[in-house]
Chains A and B, each alone.
Chain A
Amino acid sequence: MTHSRCTAIAGIVGLALFIVPQLALAWEVADSEGQGAFAMGLQFTVQDPARLELRVMFGADKPENPKSYHLLTVHRGKAFFSRVDNGAETALGLPGDLPAMQSGDELELYLHRSAWRMACIIGGRVVTRAFDSTPGGPVIAYEAPAGVQVQDAWVQPVGEIEADDTFERTEEEEAEQAKWETLSGKWELISLREDRQAGQMQADKTTNAFSYFGTSEGPGLARLGDWFWRNCEYSLAARSRGADTVFGLAFYVQDAENYLLLRWDNRFTAAPGGAYLRLDAVVDGRVETLAQRPGGHFPDQWYQLTVRVCDERIFCYVDGQFMLEGASPLFGQGPVGLYVEGKDGAWFDDVHVHDWSNLVEEFEADEPGKWVTSAGNWTIANGRATPAAQGVNRLSTGPADWSDYTVTARVEGSAAAWGLSVGHTGPVASFLFRWSAPGKAQIVKISEDGSESVLAEAPIAEGLPPQYTAGVVVEAGYIAGLLDGRRVVDCISPQTLAGGVGLYARTPENARFESLRVEPLPERTLARITKEFTDEKEHFEMVEWASTRHNWIKPEDNANPPVWWTKGDYYGPLEVRIALQQIGQTEGTLELKLTPDRGAEAPEYRVTIAGRKGSQLLTVVLLRGETKLASGEFTAAGAESQISVERRGSFLTVSADSKPVIEYRLPDGEQ
Chain B
Amino acid sequence: MTRRTAAGIVIALLVLGVSAAWSADIVVEGESYNSIKASMVKTADSTASKGYCVAIPLRRPHATTETGPGDDGHAAYKIRVQSAGTYQLWVRAHWHDACGNSFFVLVDSTSVNKATPYVTDQTFGKWHWVAGPTIRLSEGVHTIRFQNREDGAKLDQWMLTTKPKNRWVPVRVQDETREAIVK
- A3–B8 CB distance below 8 A: no
Q: A27-B5, A164-B122 are in contact. Are A3 and B168 (CB under 8 A)?
A: yes
Is A153 a contact partner of B2 (Cβ separation < 8 A)? Answer: yes
Q: How far is B3's CA from A42's CA once the two chains are assembled, in angstroms? A: 14
Q: Select A4's contact among B22, B61, B98, beta carbons within 8 Å.
A: B22
Chain A residues closer than 8 Å to B167, beta-carbon distance = 41, 154, 156
Interface of B is mostly: loop
Q: Say yes or no: A16 contacts B6, CB within 8 Å.
A: yes
Interface stretch of the complex, out of B9-17, B40-48, B73-81, B134-142: B9-17
How far does the Cβ of B64 sit from chain A's closest Cβ, in whole Å? 5
B166 close to chain A: CB less than 8 A:
yes
Q: Which residues of A contact B35 (CB under 8 A)?
A: none
Does A13 contact B23, Cβ atoms closer than 8 Å? no
| Chain B residues numbered 151-171 whose CB sits less than 8 Å from any CB in chain A | 162-163, 166-169, 171
Contact A173 B15 (CB under 8 A): no
Contact B7 A3 (CB under 8 A): no
Judged by a CB distance under 8 angstroms, whether B183 is at the interface is no
* Bound form: Cα–Cα A538–B96 in Å: 15
Asked whether A65 is an interface residue with its Cβ less than 8 Å from the other chain, the reply is: yes
Q: Is A541 a contact partner of B64 (Cβ separation < 8 A)?
A: yes
- The CA-CA distance from A152 to B18 in the complex, in Å, is 22
- List 12 A-B pairs, Cβ < 8 Å: A3-B168, A6-B3, A9-B22, A13-B4, A13-B5, A16-B6, A25-B6, A64-B9, A64-B12, A164-B123, A177-B118, A177-B120
- A538 touching B61 by the CB < 8 A rule? yes
User: Residue B25 at the A interface, CB < 8 A?
Assistant: yes
| B98, A63: Cβ atoms closer than 8 Å | no
Chain A residue, CB-CB nearest to B5: A29
A153 CB, min distance to chain B CBs, angstroms: 5
What is the chain A residue whose CB lies nearest that of B98?
A168
Q: A156-B169, A168-B98, A538-B61 are in contact. Are A29 and B7 (CB under 8 A)?
A: no
Closest-CB distance, B3 to chain A (whole angstroms): 4
In the complex, what distance in Å separates the CA atom of A63 from the CA atom of B9? 9
Complex: A609 Cα to B115 Cα, angstroms: 57
Q: How far is the CA of A154 from the CA of B118 in the complex (A)?
A: 28
Query: Are B120 and A3 in touch, CB under 8 angstroms?
Result: no
Shortest beta-carbon distance, A497 to chain B, in Å?
24
Contact of B98 among A13, A158, A162, A169 (CB under 8 A): A169
> Is the beta-carbon distance between A29 and B122 smaller than 8 angstroms?
no
* Chain A min CB distance to B57 (Å): 13
Determine the interface band of chain A, counting residues with CB < 8 A from chain B. 35 or more
A565 at the interface (CB under 8 A from B): no
Residue of B nearest to A208 (CB): B98
The answer to whether B123 and A152 touch across the interface, beta carbons within 8 angstroms, is: no
Alpha-carbon separation in the docked complex, A489 to B58 (Å): 49
New A-B contacts (5) at CB < 8 Å, excluding given A2-B175, A8-B22: A1-B174, A13-B4, A16-B11, A24-B7, A160-B171
Cα distance, A24 to B175, chains bound together (Å): 31
- Residue A12 interfacial (CB < 8 Å): yes
**C-alpha gap A23/B12 in the complex (Å):** 11
| Chain B 17-30 interface mask (CB, 8 Å, partner A; 1/0) | 01110111100000
Residues of A at the B interface (CB closer than 8 Å) are 1-6, 8-9, 12-13, 16-17, 20, 23-25, 27-30, 32, 41, 62-65, 152-154, 156-160, 162-169, 173, 177, 179, 204, 208, 226-227, 538-541
Contact of A164 (CB < 8 Å), options: B23, B124, B163, B169: B124
B60 to chain A, nearest CB (A): 5
Name the A residues within 8 Å of B169 (CB-CB).
156, 226
B4-A28 in contact (CB<8A): yes
Interface string of B47-62 (1 = CB under 8 A from A): 0000000000000110
Interface size range of chain B in the complex: 35 or more
Centre residue among B3, B15, B175 by max chain A CB count within 10 A: B3
Are B172 and A157 in contact, with the CB atoms below 8 A? yes
State which of B7, B124, B172 has its C-beta within 8 Å of the C-beta of A159: B172
Tell me, yes or no, whether B126 is within 8 Å of chain A by CB.
yes
Most interface-central of B15, B128, B162 (chain A CB within 10 A): B15
Q: Is A166 a contact partner of B98 (Cβ separation < 8 A)?
A: yes
Tell me if A4 and B6 are in contact (CB < 8 A).
Answer: no
What are the 7 closest A-B residue pairs judged by CB atoms, nearest first? A4-B19, A168-B98, A159-B171, A6-B3, A23-B7, A64-B7, A23-B8
Across the interface, do A167 and B122 meet the contact criterion of CB distance under 8 Å?
yes
With beta carbons under 8 angstroms apart, the residue of B118, B122, B171 that contacts A158 is: B171
The reply to whether B123 and A162 contact each other, CB–CB distance below 8 Å, is yes
> CA–CA, A523 to B179, complex, Å?
44
User: Is A13 a contact partner of B162 (Cβ separation < 8 A)?
Assistant: no
B10: which A residues are within 8 A, CB to CB?
A: 16
Query: In the complex, A25→B16 CA distance in Å?
Result: 17
**Docked-complex contact B22 and A16, CB < 8 angstroms:** no
With a CB–CB cut-off of 8 A, which chain A residues contact B64? 204, 541
Q: B2 to A169, Cβ gap below 8 A?
A: no
B12 closest partner in A (C-beta): A63
Task: Give the shortest distance, in Å, between B118 (CB) and chain A (any CB).
Answer: 8
Chain B residues whose CB sits within 8 angstroms of the CB of A156 once the complex forms: 167-169, 171
| A3/B11 contact (C-beta < 8 A), A156-B169, A169-B120, A538-B60 known | no
Please state if B163 and A3 are interface contacts (CB–CB under 8 Å): yes
With beta carbons under 8 angstroms apart, the residue of B11, B20, B162 that contacts A2 is B20
Residues from chain A with a CB closer than 8 A to the CB of B19 are 2, 4-6, 9
Which residues does chain B contribute within 8 Å of A25, judged by CB atoms?
A: 5-7
Flag whether B72 is at the interface (Cβ < 8 A). no
Residues of B within 8 A of A160 (CB): 171
Which residue in A4, A164, A179 is a CB contact (below 8 Å) of B15?
Answer: A4
Q: Do A32 and B4 contact each other (CB < 8 Å), given the known contacts A157-B172, A167-B122?
A: no
Q: Which residue of A lies closest to B171 (CB)?
A: A159
Q: Contact at B11–A13, with CB atoms within 8 Å? A: yes
* Residues B162 and A5 in contact, CB atoms below 8 Å apart: yes
Chain B residues with CB under 8 Å of A16's CB are 6, 8, 10-11, 14
Residues of A within 8 A of B61 (CB): 538-541
In whole angstroms, what is the CA distance A170 to B169 when docked?
26
* Cβ-defined contact, B8 with A20, below 8 A: yes
Complex alpha-carbon distance, A1 and B172, angstroms: 9
Nearest B residue to A163 via CB reads B123
CB distance from A641 to the nearest CB of B (A): 17
With a cutoff of 8 Å between Cβ atoms, the chain B residues found around residue A9 in the complex are 3, 15, 18-19, 22
Give bound CA distance, A32 to B15, whole Å.
Answer: 11
Closest to A62 in B: B12
Q: A2-B25, A159-B171 are in contact. Are A17 and B166 (CB under 8 A)?
A: no
B19 to chain A, nearest CB (A): 3
Residues in B neighbouring A166, C-beta threshold 8 A: 98, 122
How far, in whole Å, are A540 and B60 apart by their CA atoms in the complex? Answer: 10
Q: Select from chain B the residue with minimum beta-carbon distance to A30.
A: B2
Measured CB to CB, the closest approach of chain A to B133, in angstroms, equals 9
- Tell me, rounded to whole Å, the shortest Cβ–Cβ distance linking B98 to chain A: 3
Partner of B120, one of A17, A159, A173: A173
Q: How far is the CA of A164 from the CA of B128 in the complex (A)?
A: 11
Determine the residue in chain B with the shortest Cβ distance to A538: B60
Residues 94 to 116 of chain B near chain A (Cβ within 8 Å) = 98-99
Closest Cβ–Cβ distance, residue B74 to chain A (whole Å): 20
B121 adjacent to A28 (CB under 8 Å): no
Chain A residues with CB under 8 A of B15: 4, 6, 9, 12-13
The answer to whether B2 and A28 touch across the interface, beta carbons within 8 angstroms, is yes
**Shortest distance between the CB of A249 and any CB in chain B (Å):** 17
CB contacts (< 8 Å) of A24 on chain B: these are 6-7
The CA-CA distance from A167 to B98 in the complex, in Å, is: 9
A23-B6, A24-B7 are contacts. A154–B1 as well, Cβ < 8 Å?
Answer: yes
